[in-house]
Amino acid sequence: MASVADIPRPFVKPKLGRDDWTQRAFMGVIALYLVVALALPLYAMLSKSFSTYRFDLTGYEVQVSTPEGVFEAPAQSLEALNAEQEVFDAPALSTGSGGRLGLTKLFPDFSFRSPVMYRFRNTSDTSVYLANSERHKGQEWASYTSNEFRRLVIRPQKDIGFSNFKTYFSTPALFRSIQNSMLIAAISTVITVTLAFWFAYALARSCMRFKGLFRAVAMLPILVPSLLPGIALIYLFGNQGMLREFLLGNSIYGPIGIVIGSVFFTFPHAMIIISTALSISDARLYEAAVSLKASRWKTFWTVTIPGARYGLFSASFVVFNLVITDFGLPKVIGGQFNMLAVDIYKQVIGQQNFEMGAVVSVVLLVPAILAFGIDRQVQKKQVALLSARSVVFEPKVNRLFDRIFLGYATLVSIFLVGIIAVCQYAALIKFWPYNLSLSLKNYNFDLMDGGGWGAYQNSLILAILTAIIGTVVVFLGAYMVEKTKGFEKGRAMFQMLAMLPMAVPGMVLGLAYIFFFNNPANPLNFIYGTMIILVVSTVTHFYTVSHLTAVTALKQMDVEFESVSSSLKQPFYKLFRQVTVPVSMPAILNISIYLFVNAMTTVSAVVFLYSTDTKLASVAVLNMDDAGDIAPAAAMGMMIFYTNAAARVIHALASQRILRRSEAWRKSG
């Protein structure tokens, strides 16, 4: 057998046609988008988490004059002075990037009215100080009056190291969040996956009635921000809640509230995945089980569960990831119970400690990436299962069994619909619990903090732009990865970049954007604080699922279309326009509705990035809740719900129309 080494040189190098160049240019542009919108910001954040700032007292010298203004005493380094006076200890000298240190404390008899003069200089080239709000670098002496010296501050030196992480792990209030987050995510995962499994099982394996309705109800939570269930829970179980007694004295503010809310907003995600897993089970296995006289119970454990196990794993990791990275819900109902995602917010918005925010982000990235990685492995196996030829399972009528499941599905649906109904009720009553008459005054957003109707309008613009731009970028990117030839390494790299956003929590992405785009040295700095950065961050945040949808649709298309088209000497964009896009239209619509709905509901990434001109409805819910305007917050949350529900109806109608129009060529006999 010949080996590769036998192949005579020179190797053939392809001559690239016009199409190849256009395609590479396109792929380059979209890859550049992902690098700029994802890789570079994450890198900026990582490096921030390792950046430490310290005031280096050895870098400065000071000389003090007599009251007559004569400099007799020798110059002294600040380090020596501090050693003498013991004013600043080590923690006092470590600071953040914006740190400034005044020096008057080093002089016990300092008075700004004193005629004493001060001479000051840097003794190293990296030292910097500010006097009269001016930056001073270089080692020349400068003289200051006492009044001027009062406002003289030195700036810290940047260093690279683990000390931020050391600080983090030696602060119990911070690192306890890791345990809290893991625990809440684990409990929510077990509850959600169990509930969703039986719900999906009822839909797939029973003959209960109203399946279509139940399916629709199960999808409701996707249409609202994750913090909305928090508001409903406050109305139900809060200090003045309708059903407060049910908690037996426990507070809803804390773990209980977070878990219930998490179960609500992660339910549809788990349900979809498990439904898919159950629907691919092979009916022939059940026939075999029946013919072997296995009991229902035994069949369940030997056929159903093994068949759905990849779906169960996958759902578990997805739910775990959603809960641990969610910010809105614990912010609203978490009370004093700290979670990682909220810590990032508190560090950055509350304490302006960006380095510590970056450290918490890195800590949060670890479980998120781990869960994501395991999920990818599991899904690969699931694909292998899917490709096997199987017979679709048709459930048989069994009245008792069907009734039990009808009851179960009704209970779950009451929970899901109930949460939204409570929010609607909260939005419509005048003043809970004192004035229960109905009014629309809570919808008068312009009277409250949070951005008013302008915020709603901004959200609508963001959602529409995200849906349009995102769909174009994602579909073109997926097309380049899936349907072009050559350039394998570039395509593999692109594919990896496209998978990354799924593993990056929104809070982390938002913070990374601050570090990257708010840097004045960045030529893209101008998008900071505009609608553009909100669109870019939202498209990037929800890139992976959209990308996978597009790739799946493209994979279903005949691989030889491109070959045929180029053999007929037609440019690739003609095929793209006339065949690829029309055939993929259902998937394209799915991507755009997915992006629209998520852009309406997302809080996590954008909470760091909105400005006074670009306040958003979802953030307004958060801020109004924060300000105690809970009823208006519920009303705004319901506005998001109406909008998303309407968008879904329009999407369904459009899909139906397209399917009807293409009936002639899709799968006819």
Binding site for other proteins (CB under 8 A): 1-4, 6-20, 485, 558, 560-561, 563-571, 574, 578-579, 582-583, 662, 664-669
C-beta separation of 77 from 57 below 8 A: yes
Q: How far is the CB of 26 from other proteins (least distance, A)?
A: 17
543 dihedral zone (left: phi>0; alpha: psi -120 to 50; beta): alpha
Whole-angstrom distance, CA of residue 28 vs CA of residue 404: 56
Report the length, in residues, of the chain. Answer: 669
Residue 69 or 486 having the CB closest to other proteins: 486
Q: How far is the CB of 592 from other proteins (least distance, A)?
A: 20
Q: How far is the CB of 22 from other proteins (least distance, A)?
A: 12
CA dihedral over 261, 262, 266, 267, signed as positive or negative:
negative
Whole-angstrom distance, CA of residue 286 vs CA of residue 303: 7
Residue 296 or 666 having the CB closest to other proteins: 666
Residue 9 or 489 having the CB closest to other proteins: 9
Q: Whose structure tokens read 């913070």?
A: 511
At 540 the three-state DSSP class reads: helix
Residue 21 or 210 having the CB closest to other proteins: 21
Whole-angstrom distance, CA of residue 131 vs CA of residue 268: 59
Residue 177 or 565 having the CB closest to other proteins: 565
Residue 332: which residues within 8 A CB-CB, separation 6 or more? 227, 230, 231, 234, 261, 622, 625
Q: How far is the CB of 383 from other proteins (least distance, A)?
A: 21
Q: How far is the CB of 309 from other proteins (least distance, A)?
A: 33
Residue 583 or 606 having the CB closest to other proteins: 583
Residue 376 or 491 having the CB closest to other proteins: 491
The 3-class secondary structure across 422-484, one letter per residue, is HHHHHHHEEECCCEEEECCHHHCHHHCCCCHHHHHHHHHHHHHHHHHHHHHHHHHHHHHHHHC
Using alpha carbons, list the distances in angstroms from residue 491 to 457, 477, 484, 500, 653: 38, 10, 9, 14, 36
Residue 415 or 561 having the CB closest to other proteins: 561
H helices of 224-353, in order, are 228-237, 255-279, 283-291, 296-299, 305-325, 328-333, 340-345
Residue 247 or 557 having the CB closest to other proteins: 557
Q: How far is the CB of 663 from other proteins (least distance, A)?
A: 10
> From the CA atom positions of the chain, what is the Rg in Å?
30
Pairing type for strands 429-431 and 435-438 reads: antiparallel
Q: How far is the CB of 583 from other proteins (least distance, A)?
A: 6
Q: How far is the CB of 489 from other proteins (least distance, A)?
A: 13
Q: How far is the CB of 381 from other proteins (least distance, A)?
A: 24
